[in-house]
A = this chain, B = another copy of it.
């Protein structure tokens, strides 16, 4: 199975390691072998030998990236390649392009991959949160596209939702938390910790975006909400998602360091809000709500004894109310963040595409 990997950040590197570590399992259980034909980072792309396992080359690239260097700096790798050339040479039926970047500049590659008969797996939310028509184009081939980890990481929200929607079961409402980072912050507030301290801890542990205001401003969750709403067949744009952030917009105009240093000014406000909620037997969560033609994200007060109120740590929880899942919703709960979890979810997506399409070839080889 030929793979092309875009993005060699934490998630991309974890995926490569996981594919390496799983080789024996995949060969034994499914008789399949992944050939990573090319990798790219923001500096450029490198073509790899087309012979699995090619572990040596992979190892060299992983070491190189771990050392904080870009692919363009890598004199020792043969085969630097222009992206246009890479797409032209490598995208073909059966190949899978995996987008582990956080960039909106991969859209043309994903489109080309599909047009050339290949498949795509996205961990990157950006392509699916641009114009509706791009979303529609990228997800038009159910057997050739997976995007599970764009929402709540490895928690299989998208595949469960797609199963429900495919049958025509009517979804009335989706409500849940889909950010491990904000889950951590909201649960910490409930435990009496300071907002600024929680933000700093999340930032320093690498759980936030490089600029933590991306998470705290709500745009990250808004993108996930948009992907869920579009998954229901709704036609809408990111600007149609109502976003209530955790920080005032004035915080956006300063540097990350200044922001982290001044976040204490928000502590008292959140302490008061949480205490008032607790006094009512409730707590605060950062929630996605999709219902009645409205898609919104923001802080909600939820009963401590509700499924969302009982959440701990950075667990996520999504409730789907439909005609079939009624009166009680379908609930999906569990860890919805983390580099290893995301890499595992991407690999599930890849395997689903490969195993589903193995239909005809397996038959041919057997009969």
Q: With A159-B159, A167-B351, A348-B163 in contact, is A142–B328 under 8 Å at CB?
A: no
Contact residues of A between 302 and 338, Cβ < 8 Å to B: 312-313, 315, 324-326, 328-335
A18-26, A35-43, A49-57, A185-193: which lies at the interface: A18-26
The answer to whether A83 has its CB under 8 Å from any CB of chain B is no
Contacts of A358 in B (CB 8 A): 141-143
A329 to B367, CA, bound (A): 41
A104-112, A259-267, A293-301, A339-347: which lies at the interface: A339-347
A67 to B58, CA, bound (A): 66
Is B168's CB under 8 angstroms from A21's CB? yes
Is A324's CB under 8 angstroms from B335's CB? yes
The answer to whether A237 has its CB under 8 Å from any CB of chain B is no
Contact residues of A between 40 and 99, Cβ < 8 Å to B: 93
Is B332's CB under 8 angstroms from A363's CB? no
The answer to whether A6 has its CB under 8 Å from any CB of chain B is no
Contacts of A340 in B (CB 8 A): 324
Is B93's CB under 8 angstroms from A348's CB? no
A154 to B169, CA, bound (A): 12
Closest to A142 in B: B355
Contacts of A347 in B (CB 8 A): 166-167
Tell which of B18, B155, B357 touches A357, judged by Cβ atoms closer than 8 Å. B357
Is B360's CB under 8 angstroms from A93's CB? yes
Closest to A333 in B: B331
Is A143's CB under 8 angstroms from B362's CB? yes
Is A156's CB under 8 angstroms from B167's CB? no
Is A166's CB under 8 angstroms from B348's CB? yes
**Min CB distance, A70 to chain B, in Å?**
29
A312 to B327, CA, bound (A): 11
The answer to whether A160 has its CB under 8 Å from any CB of chain B is yes
Q: With A313-B328, A334-B328 in contact, is A359–B143 under 8 Å at CB?
A: yes
Is A352's CB under 8 angstroms from B166's CB? yes
Is B351's CB under 8 angstroms from A154's CB? no
**Min CB distance, A118 to chain B, in Å?**
9
The answer to whether A278 has its CB under 8 Å from any CB of chain B is no
Tell which of B313, B334, B356 touches A331, judged by Cβ atoms closer than 8 Å. B334
> Can you offer 18 A-B residue contacts whose CB atoms are under 8 A?
A141-B363, A142-B355, A142-B356, A143-B359, A155-B330, A159-B160, A164-B348, A166-B355, A167-B344, A167-B348, A169-B344, A312-B328, A324-B344, A330-B335, A332-B332, A352-B356, A356-B359, A357-B357
7 pairs of A and B residues whose beta carbons are closest in the complex:
A356-B356, A143-B359, A330-B334, A142-B355, A331-B333, A25-B168, A163-B348
| Other A-B pairs beyond A119-B359, A312-B328, 4, CB < 8 Å | A93-B363, A169-B344, A333-B333, A356-B359
